Amino acid sequence: MLGPPTTAPAPAGAVDDPLTALAATDAVGSVLQEVLDARLRHSRAVDPVFARDVADRVAALVARGGKRLRTAFACCGWRAAGGSGDPAAVLRVGAALELLQACALVHDDVMDGSLQRRGAPALHVELARGHWAAGMHGSAETFGTSAAVLAGDLALVWADDLLTETALGTPHGPRLHEEWRAMRTEMVAGQYLDLHAQAARSSGVDEALTVATLKSALYTVARPLALGASLAGADEGTVEALRMAGRCAGLAFQLRDDLLGAFGDPALTGKPAGDDLRSRKLTYLLAVAHRTADATADHQAAAVLAPDADTGSEYAVERIRAALERTGAREAVEAKIGELAAAGLRHFARADAPLAVRQEFAALVERASGVAPRRAQDER
């Protein structure tokens, strides 16, 4: 049985001074550490081998961090809806989001066959290596994959436990849980549609946007904003404005991630460049390039970008990158990111948040999308 809910002390000055989104990304680390310590104690009491091989690895992945954007957006939504005072509850929501992200990353790496995550071996790779090093029976790869699925499940369990504990401690718990429930289903739907698009060799722009919206935009920005606002008791009009802002900003974030996946520096992203191209993952970037090649009768680019084209070699990946450039897809996606970021700010302004919070949201959108959106709405 899990121990009682943990409540992290508020950061110094947090009760008197507003907790900024940037401060929340730092403060949530302490909350996560306290939660993980409690979960690891329970795991070791259940079984030391399970704790060593699975629970400890999940905790290590979470501790390696990442941008913690979901925590930042949850805090921003909370403040936009008038949240103030003790930030313990919103930080615990942020910690639950970070645990859910760990689940998503572990499962995503298994499905994509990714070898690296956050500058270290992906969990299924690490588990397979442990199997091989110990001279265990059977396929090390199968063992690593199976164990990683369980590790992702464990992160999800921890996330659900923490969110439920938090919801039970607030008068706005039912609304908080409803946003969480919707987010989890959307995330799974997006992941499945991603797999389905690869298997069906899809190349449609609309389908690519649907996948990006469900798999990333809602989960990364829209729902965290709504979770924070719900925790502050926001009215439905405010929550809907924040959801729309988050949908646009979240799409901008995902399109930037697509560009980094194709052209990024692994030393900065923490994962190999070109994995999405090798697996022929349906991204908006690839879909735009494919559509443009067809429309302009660029047969060479169309052949390179075709769903059944060879993508197994580094030379093939370089040819795809060249086609993305030549068709203008890379430039078109950059422009789309700017449009979406600006639209996100316009929707956020409808929530009537204080100027400081609107400026903070603009800074978060810039951090997530890599572009500075127009700030006219901030100066109203």
> For 37-58, how does the pLDDT look when each residue is reduced to its tens digit (9 = 90+)?
999 999 999 999 999 999 999 9
**Residues 293-308, mean pLDDT to the nearest whole number:** 84
Identify the pLDDT of residue 244: 96
Cα separation, 64 vs 58, in Å, equals: 10
8 A C-beta contact, residue 289 and residue 325: no
DSSP 120: E
pTM of the predicted model as reported, rounded to 2 decimal places = 0.87
Identify the pLDDT of residue 379: 40
**Residues 117-141, mean pLDDT to the nearest whole number:** 86
Cα separation, 228 vs 172, in Å, equals: 11
**CATH superfamily assigned to domain 19-169:** Farnesyl Diphosphate Synthase (1.10.600.10)
CA 224 to each of CA 29, 101, 169, 228: distance values in angstroms, whole numbers, following the listed order: 17, 12, 18, 6
Kindly tell me if the per-residue pLDDT of 76 is higher than 90: yes
Copy the structure tokens of residue 204. Answer: 């449609």
Three-state secondary-structure class, residue 116 = strand
Kindly tell me if the per-residue pLDDT of 378 is higher than 60: no
Q: Where in the chain is the domain with CATH 1.10.600.10?
A: 19-169, 172-371
Residues 6+ apart with CB under 8 A from 281: 112, 194, 197, 198, 275
For residues 32, 35, 40, 41, the Cα torsion angle rounded to the nearest 10 degrees is: 150
Q: Residue 132 CA to chain centroid, in angstroms?
A: 31
Kindly tell me if the per-residue pLDDT of 312 is higher than 80: no
Return the residue matching tokens 């790869």. 141
Mean pLDDT over all residues of the chain?
87
pLDDT tens column, 323-355 = 898 999 999 999 999 999 999 999 999 999 999
Kindly tell me if the per-residue pLDDT of 294 is higher than 90: no
Helix ranges (H only) for the chain are 21-46, 48-50, 56-63, 69-80, 88-112, 123-133, 140-168, 173-199, 205-212, 223-231, 236-263, 266-269, 275-278, 284-295, 299-305, 314-326, 329-349, 355-369
Closest Cα partner for 94 from 173, 168, 38, 35? 35
Q: What is the CA radius of gyration of the chain?
A: 21
Query: What percent of the chain is predicted at pLDDT more than 70?
Result: 91
Packing angle of the helix pair 284-295, 329-349 (nearest 10 deg)? 130
pLDDT tens column, 160-192 = 999 999 999 999 999 999 999 999 999 999 999
Closest Cα partner for 348 from 373, 324, 321? 373
Identify the pLDDT of residue 330: 92
**CATH superfamily assigned to domain 172-371:** Farnesyl Diphosphate Synthase (1.10.600.10)
Cα separation, 127 vs 139, in Å, equals: 12
Three-state secondary-structure class, residue 138 = coil
Cα separation, 234 vs 239, in Å, equals: 6
Half-sphere exposure of residue 309: CA atoms within 13 angstroms, side-chain side: 25
**What is the identity of the amino acid at 27?**
A
Copy the structure tokens of residue 128. Answer: 């397979």
Output 314 or 110, whichever has higher pLDDT: 110
8 A C-beta contact, residue 77 and residue 226: yes
pLDDT band (50, 70, 90) for residue 203? confident
Cα separation, 17 vs 41, in Å, equals: 34
Kindly tell me if the per-residue pLDDT of 306 is higher than 90: no
DSSP 85: S
**Residues 344-372, mean pLDDT to the nearest whole number:** 92
pLDDT band (50, 70, 90) for residue 245? very high
